[in-house]
Amino acid sequence: MDTEIKIPDIGIDQAEVIEILVHVNDYVKKEQGLIVIEGEKASMEIPSPHTGIVKEIKVKISDIVKKNSIIMIMQLKNTFKNQNTIYNSDKDVDNIKQSKVKDLNIIYASPIIRRLARSKNIDLHNIVGSGRKNRIIKKDIDNYINDLNSHVSKNNIFQDTVNPEKNNCNKFGEIEKVIINKIKKRTGDVLSKNWSTIPHVTQFDEIDITDLENFRIQYNQSNKEKKNNKLTLLTFVVKAISKGLEKYPYFNSSISRDGNTIYLKKYINIGIAVDTNHGLIVPVIKNVKNKNLFEISQEIFHKSNSARQGNLNMLDIQGGCFTISSLGGIGGTYFSPIINGSEAAILGISRSCYKPIWNGKIFVPKLMLPISLSYNHCIIDGADGARFITYINKILSDIRLLLI
């Protein structure tokens, strides 16, 4: 029996087909990836809902698909006839795939590995994976590139990394041409548009987090036996921002394109910018005001890991009200984060450090956290910007206010 394979509800209006993972006459197992699609800020595999044989592929690279779009026709009988052989089970297919059945060379690789390969113009069919079920991992990509570069160098073959007619930078030394992946390209396009269309104002401040950090360290030390139970500084900042959005609702809003209407949101969803190998991804922590510190910490941990592994779905990156960009683990003091066009503000966090603070009698060492608040000046004026950042400072400086 033949059946149509359709796009499930992926949480967005449409997405682009960027890779087709199977061929006609391929034997496909349930949950095996069929195609890879990409939306505004994330990509995902569409798995097969059945076990069967691909009879027809209805899409091609760069096609735009949406919910219920037909992507393939699949034969779903308990037994299949192919090349005069009847296959009754997965085991039968595995036993004969080398001798009688063609196009069963399934590539096992995660979306992040597939994106990495595409960005470097690598055909994954040329790589033998070293992971489970011959799954291709990043080490295999790196080894393939090293072997290729070694071969090129040994045979003195010139790599066409630039167009000499348009760019002569290679005359000064070796260069490498890197194609920008679609996620980085789209992120750059959106940020460029936001920067040029939103009147940004950025205010800076330093927060005394000495007491907060002491509490956080003591809590984590007393819960060492519990896995993934650590509270990070980001956890407290998310909760503080949630309280700030409740007190100052214009920071939890969007503005219409014509600039005539402001939409105040009654829910609080906070995006967390995550630095990944394939670009900046912003998973969204939903319904923050009704979650405690531990629940927020768990969700940040799991969604950050999913973002780095390329396992987020479209719903995970939608619905944000406010974004936090934390560079504290990397370094720097202050920066001007760019506002998401559908939001009113964004907070940047930099690396904390100890500074001597005068208490009226002596200098006392205090752990100070630099923060940078950018906001849309069409929605928020400077006075409210100062009030908001002062309120966040007050909450994070006094751990008791945060826990109330």
Q: Is 50 a catalytic residue?
A: no
Rounded to two decimals, what is the model's pTM? 0.63
d(CA 261, CA 263): 7
Burial, 226: exposed, middle or buried (Cβ in 10 Å; 0-12, 13-18, 19+)?
Answer: exposed
Q: Residue range 139-144: average pLDDT?
A: 85
- Active-site residue, from 50, 125, 200, 377: 377
Specify the pLDDT at position 154: 53
The pLDDT tens digits for 367-395 are: 999 999 999 999 999 999 999 999 999 99
* pLDDT tier, 227 (very low <50, low <70, confident <90, very high otherwise): low
Residues of the chain with CATH 2.40.50.100: 2-154
pLDDT value at 11 more than 80: no
Helix, strand, or coil here: 243? helix
Q: Return the CATH class of domain 2-154.
A: mainly beta
How many helices (DSSP H) and strands (DSSP E) are in the chain? 9, 21
Q: Residue range 348-365: average pLDDT?
A: 94
Specify the pLDDT at position 374: 96
Q: Return the CATH class of domain 198-403.
A: alpha beta
Give the neighbor-by-neighbor strand order of the sheet with 27-28: 2-6, 70-75, 52-57, 27-28
The pLDDT tens digits for 207-220 are: 999 999 999 999 89
